[in-house]
Chain A
Amino acid sequence: MGLFIAQILTGLANAGALFMVASGLSLIFGVTRVVNFAHGSFYMLGAYVGYSLMQVLPGMVGFWGAILLAGIIVGLIGVIVEICVLRPVYSAPELFQLVATFGVILVIQDLALMIWGPQDLLGPRAPGLKGVIRIMGEPVPQYDIALIVITPFVAFALWYLITKTRIGTLVRAATQDREMVSALGVNQAWLFTGVFFLGCALAGLGGALQLPKGGADLLMDFTILGSVFVVVVIGGMGSLPGAYLAAVIISVLNVFGVTYAPQSTLVLMFLVMVVVLMFRPFGLLGKEEVAGEHGQVGEPERPIKPAGNRIRLLVAAGLLILGLLPLYSGNFAVVLVTDILIFCLFAASLHFMLGQGGLVSFGHAAFFGGGAYAAALFVTYADTPMELALVLAPICAGLAAIVIGWVCLRSTGVYFAMLTLAFGQLLWSLAFQWGDVTGGDDGLVNIWPSDWASDNSVYYYIAFFLCTGGILLLRQAAHAPFGYAMRAARDSARQAEAMGINTKRIQLVAFTFAGIMAGLAGGLFVFSKGSIFPNELETARSFDALIVVFLGGVKTLSGGWVGAAFFEGIKDYLTRFEYWRFALGLSIIVVVILGPEGIVGSLRKAGERFGLLKVPEDAK
């Protein structure tokens, strides 16, 4: 019994920092609709800033003062980020801002490395709270008790701010309908900035508060991000009590998971999320999203049409140049372009379902890695030749997509995205933990192409034909009646249904098709590398694809592969620098600000302005 209570107390203490970071993310999303990937970075900054302040400020007052100050300073950093990076891109398509926040992550990572150095910092202990108290014989650290007490106070203060004050009223109004709020004369820009300050300050506070239980290190931005997203989604996006409830549930369950199923630590919270969303598609305390509320921001999308002659000539010339690559360039260029082509197909497949179908997936790597693993497993256990494995990879990925799509499509919007993320994570942990079959994180190695294809140039041609073929096929599908049905389901599900389109089925087919293409890319990937590891299934891989899709331009047909080629190319170049993450992050931010419609969208605009492209009738 004593142990049981002590375990619950441990869970409650752990919930503290998690709740603060999650509530900040939830607030920011609720009002600004920005999915702030950089939220983990603000948490990390909170820890570092708090650490530095604690070195200077003495004693008990200094300790708590440092935590408060850390929150404020991080909040101010958040304000700078909001004004410089996010303000210029609010009018961009939905979710475009997450690309900008991704750039912020990279910049902050390198800045933190420059300022605080590479070594992990152990957080100072809280003065006066270093010991334990015994509860029914079980030791409970005093600082845990402090956290358990502080968290509800913060939660209550937030609740009071949001429900009882005028600022809170405005924030809530903006959460529901920000256009209306600004029409009523509220300065939306400052409201957004204010909310960003509050959200980031909460993240910083969370980071500083956990110092006595851990410290500051350069990996903590990503390590918390997953759990924070899970908490926000289980609680319901935008719901503060939901975030608190979810943080407590996840933390307490985790403590019991550690004790009674020690191997479960990788997947437990994602399983909980899947179960919760199956029964409550909008989280525990979330409200149903109003359809169309944030569907089309900015310019409406143009109807798609077949490419003009000039573009076709350009593409043909480009393909010719690529097709002859092995004849005039060195081996490494061939290897690099093979890599880029494969990534382009992967990105194009995501772009297809995201751009045409409006299905934002956070877990598309499940199909890329899934296809790769399928091919690798067939080769390892059945001695399947490469030719057959390259057929089986997309089939297996497609089958997985049918099952995963069927479950995920019960939800919509961000909840759909989070479900795909959860499944991606489940597949990842399957590959990671089922060591006997998948080799765990030691992966599967020695998966090489058949003899005739083992030369880099020959393999290049295989990748070239399959990837460009796949990308052209995806493009073709967008022009087919199926593509029209997808866009109808995306823009107005209700009207599409009334016209007799089975929108759910269309979406499932689109999801599966995208999965098949990603699986093909995965199959090509594994033979080009000769090995496969679980990190190809990681969420980071999904985000890579997501970033380049937005970077290339969602509301265009070629955004996916253009963004991918640009991103891979610039990354290959920049990683030769010492502070390449800083440079890459900055480049992303610059591209995002200069071209809020993505690379393709912005180029098209520029082309039209300078008379290089004809302005279509319907856009005049």
Chain B
Amino acid sequence: MNRSSFLKGIFGAIALSVTGLSVAAQSGEPIKIGEINHYKRMAAFAEPYKKGIELGLEEINAAGGVLDRPLEFIFRDDQGDPGEAIKIAEELMTSEGTVMLTGTILSNVGLAISAVAAEKKWVYLASEPLADALTWSQGNPWTFRLRTSTYMQAAMLAEQAAKTDAMKYATIAPNYAYGKDAVAAFKEVLTQLKPGVEFVGEQWPALFKIDAGAEVQALERSKPDAIYNVTFGPDLAKFVREGTTRGLFDGRAVYGLLSGEPEYLEPLADEAPKGWVVTGYPWYDFDEDDGANKTFVDAYQARFNETPKLGSLVGYMTAATIAAAIRKAGSTEGDAIRMAFEGLDVTTPVGEITFREIDNQATMGAFVGKTMLKDGAGVMTDWVYLDGADYLPSDEEIAKLRPAE
């Protein structure tokens, strides 16, 4: 939060204590969006995301804003605590005059906001949380998700894995819901595509507390043909280093969920793994043929003088999505925005995406490629962009997963 929005926060608080609530939106006044995130707890991921939003907002407002009004985000830090996030959501929607909510990276915070959104009839765009539950088992009419879900990304890697002749797989994933979802989805899709594959080992290190040496020994012991990795952040760095040192990856195919995202690949520098098949974001590789992708990357670098992360892209797309939704709704009423989100088409740097009516999941896809070293840094090569729409279960299956509306 910058100084001016902080001051506004104070004024808002003073106004609140004096007059109660009801900051009526007047014509020409900004349309406010509430953005709740873990700016401190997950600073490495939240900051690029926030910059992406800021870039998107500047472009939208320079082009005349939305419904002839400027679009404004109010950024608030929830400390990564679901209870705190709900309190902030309440404040944003009832006294700050925001018209809808967005944000969060951690899935549990996303689920908490989605539950309160459904109860209070607020629109919530879950921008970054990946949990499948958000649009399926715990899905509700008021929650929409932008980013490619765990299932979709795992399915993309499983499809790549099915093309090889590896039969024995070992998995390593952080011991929490995201890790478990990611392994379950990979297993499900891979077994469908290639019956007969065998899962010979499963490792579950505690999130950010990996004992990498021991995990590598345990994986080695199960003698797999291929390894499926879901660890990320500091865990990934330790795992890669121990695994490389101890020769775990020699002669084995490795599939890494999110491992190619700059957030995780960049810190590894010249020790980035080679030859892993990963989902990620190869911003460095875009050229004129990639059109909007290239335009976004250039604009981002020009604006912030730093390289974009995947979070930057998601942030930028979040701003674009919300602008599109409010334009389509033609109003800032919650119900109108919700209706607008159903089947909403948004033009983004990665192409056209659609918010599916059946489960409120956007069809944003992912870049899948192979890692290699280039100039002392890990990069993705031979990448392709896979459309998310092709990696979702059939409509019948989703109807079973999702509670009836």
A residues near B299, Cβ cutoff 8 Å: none
Cα separation A565 to B16 with both chains bound (whole Å): 20
B81 touches A535 (CB 8 A): yes
Complex Cα distance, B211 from A536, in Å, reads 26
The listed residue (B41, B131, B177, B204) touching A262 by CB distance below 8 A is B204
Chain A residues, CB < 8 A from B271: 122
The answer for the CA separation of A116 and B119 in the assembled complex, in Å, is: 41
Residues of chain B within 8 A (CB-CB) of A441 are 107-108, 176-177
Q: Is B345 an interface residue, CB under 8 A from the partner?
A: no
Q: Is the CB of B76 within 8 A of A332?
A: no
- Tell which of A21-29, A209-217, A591-599 binds the partner: A209-217
B140 to chain A, nearest CB (A): 9
Tell me if A531 and B214 are in contact (CB < 8 A).
Answer: no
Tell me which of B109-117, B151-159, B313-321, B393-401 binds A.
B109-117
Name the CB-closest residue of B to A130.
B245
Q: Which residues of A contact B21 (CB under 8 A)?
A: 330-332
Determine if A265 and B268 form an interchain contact, defined as CB atoms under 8 angstroms apart: no
- Chain B residue nearest to A142 (CB atoms) is B245
Residue of B nearest to A448 (CB): B119
- With CB as the reference atom, state the residue of chain A lying closest to B268: A122
Cα distance A525–B214 in the bound complex, in angstroms? 40
Contact B214 A122 (CB under 8 A): no
Is B20 an interface position by the 8 A CB rule?
yes
The docked-state distance in angstroms from the alpha carbon of A602 to that of B204 is 49
Determine the chain B residues whose CB is within 8 A of the CB of A443 once the complex forms. 82, 108, 111-112
Task: Tell whether B83 is near chain A: CB-to-CB under 8 Å.
Answer: yes
How far in angstroms is the closest Cβ of chain A from B294? Answer: 24
Q: Is the CB of B205 within 8 A of A258?
A: yes
Interface residue SS majority, chain A: helix
Enumerate B235-292 residues with CB–CB distance to A below 8 Å.
237-238, 241-242, 245-247, 266-269, 271
9-residue interface stretch from B85-93, B161-169, B381-389? B85-93
Cross-chain contact A141 with B108 (CB below 8 angstroms) = no
B202 partner residues in chain A, CB cutoff 8 A: 262
Across the two chains, which residue of chain A brings its CB closest to B140? A446
Per-residue A-contact encoding for B79-109, CB less than 8 Å = 1, 0 else? 1011110110011001100000000000110
Contact B206 A265 (CB under 8 A): yes
Q: In the bound complex, do residue B217 and residue A131 qualify as a contact, i.e. CB atoms below 8 Å apart?
A: no
Contacts of A119 in B (CB 8 A): 44, 266-267
- Would B213 and A132 count as touching, CB distance under 8 A? no
Interface residue? A580 (CB, 8 A): yes
Q: Does A3 contact B (CB under 8 A)?
A: yes
Given the contacts A10-B214, A255-B214, A329-B17, A533 and B247 also touching, CB distance less than 8 Å:
no
Which residues of A97-148 are within 8 A (CB) of B?
Answer: 109-110, 113, 118-122, 125, 130-132, 138-139, 141, 144
Q: Which of B182-230 contact A (CB under 8 A)?
A: 202-206, 208-209, 211-215, 217-218, 221
Is the Cβ of B176 less than 8 Å from the Cβ of A432? yes
Q: Find out whether the CB atom of B234 lies under 8 angstroms from the CB atom of A214.
A: yes
CB neighbours of A109 from chain B (8 A): 40
Asked if A262 and B218 sit within 8 Å, CB to CB, the answer is yes
B133 partner residues in chain A, CB cutoff 8 A: 442
Instruction: Find out whether the CB atom of B245 lies under 8 angstroms from the CB atom of A132.
Output: yes
Interface string of A469-493 (1 = CB under 8 A from B): 0000000000000000000000000
When the two chains form their complex, are residues A223 and B108 in contact, meaning their CB atoms are under 8 A apart? no
- Asked if B175 is an interface residue, CB under 8 A from chain A, the answer is yes
How many Å lie between the Cα of A38 and that of B41 in the bound state? 17
Neighbour of B180 across the interface among A121, A254, A435, CB < 8 A: A435
Q: Tell me the smallest distance from the CB of A239 to a CB of chain B, in Å.
A: 25
Which of A10, A139, A217 contacts B247 (CB under 8 A)?
A139
B208 touches A223 (CB 8 A): yes
Other-chain contact of A120, B44, B138, B221 (Cβ < 8 Å): B44
Q: Is B213 a contact partner of A259 (Cβ separation < 8 A)?
A: no
User: When the two chains form their complex, are residues A10 and B94 in contact, meaning their CB atoms are under 8 A apart?
Assistant: no
Quick check: B111 and A445 within 8 Å, CB to CB?
Answer: yes
Q: Within 8 Å of chain B (Cβ to Cβ): is A88? A: no
In the complex, chain A residues whose CB is within 8 Å of the CB of B112: 443, 445, 529-531, 533
Q: Which of chain B's residues have a CB closer than 8 A to the CB of A620? A: none
CB distance from B39 to the nearest CB of A (A): 8
Q: Which residues of B contact A432 (CB under 8 A)?
A: 176
In the complex, what residues of B have CB within 8 A of residue A533's CB?
82, 108, 111-112
A335/B175 in contact, CB under 8 A: no
Interface residue ranges of A245-283 to B (CB < 8 Å): 254-255, 258-259, 262-263, 265-266
Complex Cα distance, B79 from A441, in Å, reads: 16
Contact A132–B237 (Cβ < 8 Å): no
Other-chain residue from A121, A220, A254, A456 in contact with B211 (beta carbon distance below 8 A): A254
* Residue contact A118 to B95, C-beta cutoff 8 Å: no
In contact, B95 and A331 (Cβ under 8 angstroms): yes
Taking the complex as formed, is B70 at the interface, i.e. its CB lies under 8 A from any CB of chain A? no
State A318–B212 Cα separation when bound (angstroms).
55
**Is B77 interfacial (CB 8 A cutoff)?**
yes
Q: Which of A79-87, A556-564, A571-579 contacts B (4 or more CB under 8 A)?
A: A571-579
Interface contact B6-A219, CB-CB below 8 Å: no
CA–CA, A440 and B137, complex, Å: 14
Q: Is B47 an interface residue (CB 8 A)?
A: yes
Complex contacts, B40 vs chain A, CB 8 Å: 109-110, 113, 580-581
Chain A neighbourhood of B43, CB < 8 A: 113, 118, 218
Task: Choose one: A120, A121, A536, A575; the contact of B76 (CB below 8 Å).
Answer: A575
Task: Contact check, A217 vs B233: say whether CB atoms are below 8 A apart.
Answer: yes
A132 CA to B133 CA in the complex, in Å? 43
The answer to whether B76 and A220 have CB atoms under 8 Å apart is: no
Tell whether B358 is near chain A: CB-to-CB under 8 Å: no
Question: In the complex, are the beta carbons of B175 and A535 less than 8 A apart?
Answer: no
Query: What sequence of 0s and 1s flags, for each residue 41-85 of chain B, a beta carbon within 8 Å of any chain A beta carbon?
Result: 101100100000000000000000000000000001101011110
Closest to B115 in A: A445
User: Are A529 and B208 touching (Cβ within 8 A)?
Assistant: no
The residues of A that contact B245 with a CB separation of less than 8 Å are: 130-132, 139, 141
Contact of A214 (CB < 8 Å), options: B17, B90, B94, B237: B237
Could you tell me the distance between the alpha carbons of A535 and B138 in the complex, rounded to whole angstroms? 19
A336 at the interface (CB under 8 A from B): yes
Report the separation of the CA atoms of residues A213 and B119 in the bound assembly, to the nearest whole angstrom: 47
Please tell me if B25 contacts chain A, counting CB pairs below 8 Å: no
Docked pose: A456 CA to B13 CA in angstroms: 19
Q: Tell me if B81 and A118 are in contact (CB < 8 A).
A: no
Cβ < 8 Å to B, chain A residues 417-444:
432-433, 435, 440-443
Pairs A-B, 4 closest by C-beta atoms: A118-B43, A330-B21, A445-B115, A258-B214
Please name 6 further chain A to chain B contacts, defined as beta carbons within 8 Å, in addition to the given A213-B212, A213-B238, A573-B13, sorted by A numbering: A214-B234, A255-B217, A258-B215, A339-B87, A443-B82, A445-B111
Q: Provide 15 A-B residue pairs closer than 8 Å at the C-beta atoms, listed in order of the A residue.
A: A10-B217, A121-B267, A213-B212, A213-B213, A215-B234, A255-B213, A329-B20, A332-B16, A336-B87, A435-B180, A442-B111, A442-B177, A443-B112, A529-B86, A533-B108
Binding site for A on B (CB under 8 A): 1-2, 6, 9-10, 13, 16-17, 20-21, 40-41, 43-44, 47, 76-77, 79, 81-84, 86-87, 90-91, 94-95, 107-108, 111-112, 114-116, 118-119, 131, 133, 138, 175-177, 180, 202-206, 208-209, 211-215, 217-218, 221, 233-234, 237-238, 241-242, 245-247, 266-269, 271
